[in-house]
Amino acid sequence: MIRPGLDDRIYPVFKITTVLDALAAEGVSAEDALTGVGVSRSALSSPATRVSINQIIECYCNADRLTRDPQFAYRAGLRFHVSAFGMYGFAILSSTDYRRTEHFAVKYHELAIPLAEVSFKEENNFGAWTTIPLPHPRVDARLYRYLVELHFGIQLSLHRDVMGASFAARELHVTYGPPDDAPKYPDIFGCRVLFGQSQNKLLYDASWLDRTPTLGNEITYLTMVELCDGLREELRLHIGLVGKVRQILLVNLIRSTRFNDVARRLNMSTRTLRRKLREENTSFRKLAGELRMEMAIKYLRDTDLTVEDIAYTLGFSEAANFRQAFRRWTNAAPQQFRDISGRA
């Protein structure tokens, strides 16, 4: 999967508008919720408007700051329905086999505006969805929890849309420690919640997967899958040159990939590549730095690798150089960031 840049405006706006609607129910104005997001309320009414991951994250930071509800993220997640996800949602709804539905949802997750990596598998008679919030310098421990609980709400809502209103989780696992209102979590989420776990998981009885979808239609499903394939290709075209450069850098992180090498891989001169990147308001150095930053955050948050090992993995000649770069990216030392991350 080609990774878009954090500023690439390629996604529809429903992940912002749904949260705005949830804030409006608390009396929060759209203007306040959109502070610093860089998109107007009127633009959000247009199906042609596209936003970036950074804009969505900014909106979620505002929501977390403005809400009076400690479980706002989860309740906002419950407002998302399959109809908001376009062809991706329609394919999910029309599948004739729930196991196939779950694996389709993972495979085509990039169409759902991915603010987290997700995976699904069956384990010990449970269906298990795992969620890892995206590596981003704004995703501290507080926003990490926000994204996890938002995704739990979305996952529950979509499963109820598809499998029926009685669908329920059996257990939730989260990597963060218990908040002050942890005793209320079982009543809020409708199941046991385990804190300080190794992964964020939503578990449900695997017997749900044996049921027959009431709205499934094989011909419609196959048609929707074909359309989703087209949407993925269109998305990759919109990502364009920046995405291709990021992909080359991603598979060669441990080696210091030179600009000349990337230009050669893309069958263009260094002059042409430099000009085209400039036209997309970026540069090779900026892209390489952003990717290293994202992977550094991911390794610090989601693994037990030492700072020295991470520095080597990202192609730094010395750990000191990595520490200096990481502080420039996030205003925090690597170990300090790890200590206050979602796994703390």
pLDDT at residue 305 in the model = 87
CB 112 within 8 A of CB 158: no
pLDDT recorded at residue 330: 86
Q: What contacts 16, CB < 8 A, 6 or more positions away?
A: 37, 39, 44, 51, 55, 56, 59
CATH no., domain 240-339: 1.10.10.60
- Amino acid making up residue 92: I
Which of 174, 168, 169 has the alpha carbon at shortest distance from 194? 174
Q: What is the dihedral angle through the alpha carbons of 272, 274, 276, 282, rounded to the nearest 10 degrees? A: 170
10-residue averages of pLDDT along the chain (344 residues): 73 94 96 96 91 94 96 97 93 96 94 91 96 89 94 97 96 94 94 95 97 93 93 75 81 75 91 89 86 87 87 86 90 84 50
Write down the pLDDT at residue 282.
86
Question: Per DSSP, what are the bridge partners of residue 330?
Answer: none
Q: How many whole angstroms separate alpha carbon 64 and alpha carbon 311?
A: 32
pLDDT of residue 254: 62
pLDDT at 3: 65
Paired strand residues for 121: 128
Calpha distance 312→315 (Å, rounded) = 5
**How do the domains of the chain map onto residue ranges?**
1-68, 70-216, 240-339
- CB burial class (10 A; 0-12, 13-18, 19+) of residue 209? middle
| pTM for this model (two decimals) | 0.82
Angle, vertex CA 87, rays to CA 84 and CA 88, nearest 5: 75
User: Tell me, what's the pLDDT at 344?
Assistant: 40
